Amino acid sequence: MALPKKRHSKQRGRKRRTHWKVKLDNLAECPQCKQPKLLHRVCTICGYYDGRQVLETKTKDKKKKEKA
Protein backbone atom coordinates (compact mmCIF):
# COMPACT_ATOMS: atom_id res chain seq x y z
CA MET A 1 0.00 0.00 0.00
CA ALA A 2 1.28 3.46 -0.85
CA LEU A 3 2.40 5.78 1.92
CA PRO A 4 2.72 9.57 1.69
CA LYS A 5 6.32 10.78 1.45
CA LYS A 6 5.54 14.10 3.12
CA ARG A 7 2.96 15.33 5.57
CA HIS A 8 -0.19 16.86 4.07
CA SER A 9 -1.31 20.20 5.47
CA LYS A 10 -4.61 20.61 7.34
CA GLN A 11 -5.91 22.75 4.49
CA ARG A 12 -5.21 20.08 1.89
CA GLY A 13 -7.03 17.39 3.87
CA ARG A 14 -9.99 19.69 4.52
CA LYS A 15 -10.22 20.60 0.83
CA ARG A 16 -10.51 16.91 0.00
CA ARG A 17 -13.27 16.42 2.59
CA THR A 18 -15.48 19.32 1.45
CA HIS A 19 -17.73 16.94 -0.48
CA TRP A 20 -18.40 14.63 2.49
CA LYS A 21 -21.81 16.13 3.19
CA VAL A 22 -24.73 14.55 4.99
CA LYS A 23 -27.74 14.21 2.69
CA LEU A 24 -31.20 15.04 3.97
CA ASP A 25 -33.94 12.45 3.68
CA ASN A 26 -36.42 13.01 0.86
CA LEU A 27 -39.71 13.95 2.44
CA ALA A 28 -43.11 14.19 0.78
CA GLU A 29 -46.42 15.51 2.04
CA CYS A 30 -48.93 12.88 3.11
CA PRO A 31 -52.09 13.33 1.03
CA GLN A 32 -54.33 12.39 4.00
CA CYS A 33 -52.93 14.36 6.95
CA LYS A 34 -50.57 16.78 5.13
CA GLN A 35 -47.65 15.88 7.42
CA PRO A 36 -44.15 15.22 6.03
CA LYS A 37 -43.34 11.52 5.56
CA LEU A 38 -40.62 9.43 3.93
CA LEU A 39 -41.19 8.45 0.32
CA HIS A 40 -42.62 4.95 -0.33
CA ARG A 41 -43.39 4.45 3.37
CA VAL A 42 -46.58 4.29 5.43
CA CYS A 43 -47.41 7.58 7.13
CA THR A 44 -46.62 7.15 10.82
CA ILE A 45 -49.24 9.70 11.87
CA CYS A 46 -52.37 8.56 10.01
CA GLY A 47 -51.32 5.05 8.85
CA TYR A 48 -52.23 5.57 5.19
CA TYR A 49 -50.25 4.38 2.16
CA ASP A 50 -51.29 4.81 -1.48
CA GLY A 51 -54.73 6.14 -0.55
CA ARG A 52 -55.75 3.30 1.78
CA GLN A 53 -55.33 2.69 5.50
CA VAL A 54 -52.65 0.11 6.17
CA LEU A 55 -51.92 0.63 9.88
CA GLU A 56 -54.26 1.24 12.77
CA THR A 57 -52.93 4.26 14.64
CA LYS A 58 -53.71 4.95 18.27
CA THR A 59 -55.02 8.39 19.16
CA LYS A 60 -55.59 10.03 22.53
CA ASP A 61 -59.34 9.27 22.36
CA LYS A 62 -58.75 5.54 21.90
CA LYS A 63 -56.26 5.47 24.79
CA LYS A 64 -58.84 7.08 27.09
CA LYS A 65 -61.46 4.50 26.09
CA GLU A 66 -59.08 1.61 26.77
CA LYS A 67 -58.36 2.89 30.31
CA ALA A 68 -62.06 3.31 31.20
* CA Rg value for the chain: 24
Q: For position 9, what pLDDT does the model report?
A: 94
Collect all residues with Cβ–Cβ distance below 8 Å to 41 and sequence separation of at least 6.
Answer: 49
What gap in Å lies between CA 28 and CA 12, rounded to an integer? 38
Q: CB neighbours (10 Å) of residue 33?
A: 14
Spatial distance between the Cα atoms of 34 and 31, rounded to a whole number of angstroms: 6
- DSSP structural state of residue 46: T
What is the rounded average pLDDT of the residues 2-28?
91
- The pLDDT score that the predictor gives to residue 35 is 94
More confident residue, 18 or 60: 18
Residue 37: predicted pLDDT: 94
